[in-house]
Amino acid sequence: MDAKPPVNGSVTRRQFLRNGARLMTMTGLGVAAGALATRSTGAAWVWQIDPAKCLRCGNCATQCVLEQSAVKCVHAYAVCGYCQLCTGFFWPEPNELTTAAENQLCPTAAIKRTYVEDPYYQYSIDEQLCIGCAKCVEGCNRFGNGSLFLQIRHDRCLNCNECAIARTCPGEAFRRVPVEHPYLLKTTSR
């Protein structure tokens, strides 16, 4: 059965089958695309951490595909108590309440302590130094008001299709949020 070149205008069996298969595939793709597109808002998704579910396991510092994790600690100043003895800043038993490295909880000294007025101190995070290990988050949440929490910083995050930290998070704290509202911040409303 040689494949003869087609006579003008007519189509070989294989060509006919091929055309048919192509048409069916196009229809199938069209249906699938249409079904999904009607649900699609056109919005893109980015990853974010829900601070209510975070268990401070330390994975955010180690599992991100980037060398320096895209997860950093964020401070909700409106929730903070501005304590002199901040348990997110100091070791559980500091020698004294100074910024000496031996007293600090943060392994990279990323929290800056500045005096505001008696007896209040402001604690702010230096994102260049923060590695997202959640030690301060644990200290703040265990004893204090819980104003320190982890968030993915979107000027660093690559927004991988499958977040490498998300799949190892023991609290299932990672979820997709719309790109227009990429943060899940703690506010004064609980």
Binding to other proteins in span 17-56, by CB under 8 A: 18-19, 21-22, 25-26, 29, 32-33, 35-37, 39-46, 51-52, 54-56
Instruction: Provide the β-strand partners of residue 113.
Output: 123
DSSP state, residue 115: E
Instruction: Provide the β-strand partners of residue 90.
Output: 104
Task: Give me the amino acid identity at 52.
Answer: A
Subset of 82-101 contacting other proteins (CB under 8 A)? 82-87, 92-93
Closer CB to other proteins, 102 or 180, in the complex: 180
Q: Taken in order 19, 24, 29, 35, is the CA torsion positive or negative? A: positive
**Alpha-carbon distances, residue 38 vs 27, 29, 43, 185 (angstroms):** 16, 14, 12, 31
* Contacting residue, 6, 11, 31, 65, with other proteins by CB under 8 A: 65
User: Does residue number 12 form part of the binding site for other proteins (CB under 8 A)?
Assistant: yes
* Contacting residue, 27, 98, 99, 168, with other proteins by CB under 8 A: 168
Give SS3 for 160: coil
DSSP state, residue 68: S
Closest approach of other proteins to the CB of residue 164, in Å: 8
* Contacting residue, 71, 111, 157, 174, with other proteins by CB under 8 A: 157
Closest approach of other proteins to the CB of residue 9, in Å: 17
